A and B are shown apart, each in its own frame.
Chain A
């Protein structure tokens, strides 16, 4: 049970610094704020530090020998930086990772069954599982299909579904749209939005595809080289020239460059 005052943020990150292998600094004092039941998006190119931020929040920072060297992360008023991942999961911080997001040799049904809902009783868990099939009817059809054989979009749906079964308070999604066709992404994003409506979950979404993300987000941060370069309500960000130029691939005014130059770098399988 989180004890959040009406206008207090659910998650605050203050001055977060993260270094890999103790020497390569990935984050230089990142500050974020996520209000309850909102969708906040973290934008930025590869290497900007988005995934690192998510990892720090979820507690899975130990991968690749990374560690939090300074700063504070507060969830529902409690400081959680440096806590082990399972402690955070118990608090209701659930991560949908960028890669390896489902169990490939288990069926869809098994993937959902496997998730442990520390914060929900049996009845509620059943309700959540039923809800997942409501949000993602395609999954209901694929119940006995091996997760490894699913398409990219279906896999992402399953990943989101199994995260929901954990009854998250804060859902961290790393690269929702990576490798998916635009139509599929649009559909997914709509569903994510309705999940937020129905379940009152707070969502922190990491995305390279700014136009998609800003369409559904309430607030956004743009990370660049480990720092927050821009922030603001989504509507505002959508209108800003820099974002249009660098991330949306739209030329503006005299600074017209070829689309090729403006187009985002193709998704690379690299850590942020």
Chain B
């Protein structure tokens, strides 16, 4: 593989990894698969379109504001909707997320139409290609995605391992009943998990918006990132990174050496292979299968 291809794989893996954090966070905390994640990511990107329009002279403010909106959005979704499904059958909760995704897709088009937006252009930023190594080029936004993905992972890992509330989130995921018995308010933990999840998704969406624009069909990337989370074992962050690398490598290789049309289906082929061989993923645990 040429170095350029490797670079492409790393960029795509960074996107998938960043988006996967959302799946992992929510699944780890509450065993729910959020199939609206792609749409929530898309809404985050549209938040940037809105804030860019308002603060076109101050990109950092626009980005920060959009990210905060992303965080709040997740918590609102939990408090208004998902909270009622806590304790109910997981499948019903997943179906609700599917319905939420559809609702969001409709709302986004109603508010912003099917037009494509380029928030980067609103800031006057031209997204120049950057040569990381002679002969290898990626766009500046792609470089940002990789950097941000690394930052987010380090941050999340630190949060979950070393902060009290991070450990509490892990505890709630392991044994919600015991967590309640030790004073941990599950609703609070879940709301925060959702907030963090949509925060990272929005950041991913915003960066992709800066790279290639915003369009109502970008939610599919969210769905394509899901196999990465699954390959890793749905509740492992480290697994999601590895899963993202595997899926991205497979996808780029397929596009390059077999057929460009395969791009959308390769992640799911990887998914099927993993489900056939080792359904609980690289770092998941066997009992997960039965818990569902």
B184 in the interface (beta carbon within 8 A): yes
CB neighbours of A106 from chain B (8 A): 167, 170-171, 174
CB neighbours of A166 from chain B (8 A): 182-183
Give chain B's interface residue range (CB within 8 Å of chain A): 10 to 19
Scan B231-269; emit 1 where CB is below 8 A from any A CB, else 0.
000000000000000000000000000000000000000
The reply to whether B167 and A89 form a contact with Cβ atoms under 8 Å apart is: no
The reply to whether A86 and B183 form a contact with Cβ atoms under 8 Å apart is: yes
Contact count A vs B, C-beta below 8 Å: 63
Distance in angstroms from A123 CB to nearest chain B CB is 16
The reply to whether A114 and B167 form a contact with Cβ atoms under 8 Å apart is: yes
- Within the complex, which residue of A100, A102, A118 is in contact with B183, where a contact is CB–CB below 8 Å? A118
The reply to whether A115 and B183 form a contact with Cβ atoms under 8 Å apart is: yes
Q: Which residue of A lies closest to B87 (CB)?
A: A62
B126 in the interface (beta carbon within 8 A): no
CB neighbours of B167 from chain A (8 A): 106, 110, 113-114
A105 in the interface (beta carbon within 8 A): yes
| Alpha-carbon gap, A113 to B182, bound state (A) | 10
CB neighbours of A117 from chain B (8 A): 183
Q: Which residue of B lies closest to A110 (CB)?
A: B167
- Within the complex, which residue of A85, A103, A163 is in contact with B180, where a contact is CB–CB below 8 Å? A85
The reply to whether A97 and B174 form a contact with Cβ atoms under 8 Å apart is: no
Q: Which residue of B lies closest to A118 (CB)?
A: B183
Number of residues of chain A lying within 8 A (CB) of chain B: 28
The reply to whether B178 and A101 form a contact with Cβ atoms under 8 Å apart is: yes
The reply to whether B182 and A100 form a contact with Cβ atoms under 8 Å apart is: no
| Alpha-carbon gap, A247 to B268, bound state (A) | 60
Scan B159-185; emit 1 where CB is below 8 A from any A CB, else 0.
000001001101100110111111111
| Max count, chain A CB within 10 A of own CB: residue among B170, B178, B179 | B178
CB neighbours of B179 from chain A (8 A): 103, 114
The reply to whether A89 and B174 form a contact with Cβ atoms under 8 Å apart is: no
Known: A86-B185, A113-B164. A100 touches B171 (CB 8 A): no
The reply to whether B178 and A100 form a contact with Cβ atoms under 8 Å apart is: yes
CB neighbours of A116 from chain B (8 A): 168, 182-184
| Alpha-carbon gap, A44 to B168, bound state (A) | 35
Scan A76-94; emit 1 where CB is below 8 A from any B CB, else 0.
0000000001100110001
The reply to whether A97 and B181 form a contact with Cβ atoms under 8 Å apart is: yes
A58 in the interface (beta carbon within 8 A): yes
The reply to whether B178 and A97 form a contact with Cβ atoms under 8 Å apart is: yes
A221 in the interface (beta carbon within 8 A): no
A75 in the interface (beta carbon within 8 A): no
5 tightest CB-CB pairs across the interface, nearest first?
A116-B183, A115-B182, A114-B171, A103-B171, A89-B183
- 7 A-B residue pairs with Cβ-Cβ distance under 8 Å, sorted by A, are A60-B180, A86-B185, A89-B181, A97-B177, A106-B170, A114-B168, A114-B182
